[in-house]
Chain A
Amino acid sequence: DAMVIQNPRYQVTQFGKPVTLSCSQTLNHNVMYWYQQKSSQAPKLLFHYYDKDFNNEADTPDNFQSRRPNTSFCFLDIRSPGLGDAAMYLCATSRDVASGRGLTDTQYFGPGTRLTVL
């Protein structure tokens, strides 16, 4: 089945030790998103890619970076994780239905990666 896959599902890292989370999709969607979700809170958008164009949210810390080497894969790099970065990280994809004018279809989410920082 077409889907959004995230690896690993659970990631433990040490304070300050870089970590990379991965997301892959078989939906061939041109837009990919990374969200951070803390317990009992709504997801918070960190950034998104429209094709290879990177769009960073204004309040996303510099500690968070992303790479999208091709349509199918997207990575979230946390350069120096702090205790406050412990959260669920969700990857999502969607299809642009308006030729770049910013209207997209339903967002499809992966199962998430739960990050623990020791």
Chain B
Amino acid sequence: KQEVTQIPAALSVPEGENLVLNCSFTDSAIYNLQWFRQDPGKGLTSLLLIQSSQREQTSGRLNASLDKSSGRSTLYIAASQPGDSATYLCAVRHSNYQLIWGAGTKLIIKP
């Protein structure tokens, strides 16, 4: 059974720092992995999607990597800003339409 884990559950860093969020999954047979952002009381915004054949994807200050063999993905945020404060969730597409979700990392960027 595929399980997705995100560590840490919460992270607080000063503005301007580079940071890494971690996502691990137990079964390497995935179609893709997706990182989402969720602001309090809001829906989810897709940040990056990495297909199983890819190693990384970049969008602005965000870079996501995927290592299927080790069952890990990282989301790198460069030069963090207070507006980056949110909960970040990763989700793995294990089969067909089902997404298997991590519980998220709550990120706080201190001005």
* Chain A interface residues (CB < 8 Å from chain B): 4, 6, 31, 33, 40-43, 45, 48, 50, 55, 88, 90, 92, 94, 102-112, 114
Contact = CB atoms under 8 A, between A and B. Distances in A.
B49 A106 contact: yes
B44 interface: yes
Given A42-B89, A42-B102, A110 B43 contact: yes
Interface stretch (B13-21, B64-72, B73-81, B91-99): B91-99
B44 A90 contact: yes
B28 to A, nearest CB: 17
- Which of B36, B44, B46, B103 is packed against the most chain A CB atoms within 10 Å? B44
Contacts of B93: 103-104
B34 interface: yes
Contacts of B34: 106-107
Nearest to A105: B49
Given A40-B103, A102-B95, A102-B96, 17 more contacts: A41-B103, A42-B89, A42-B101, A43-B44, A45-B98, A50-B97, A55-B97, A103-B31, A103-B93, A104-B97, A105-B49, A106-B34, A106-B46, A107-B46, A109-B36, A110-B43, A112-B41
B42 interface: yes
Contacts of B96: 102
Chain B contact residues: helix, strand, loop or mixed: strand
Interface residues of B, number: 22
A58 to B, nearest CB: 11
B58 interface: no
Nearest to A10: B41
Given A106-B46, A108-B46, A31 B89 contact: no
Given A41-B103, A42-B89, A106-B49, A111 B97 contact: no
B43 A114 contact: no
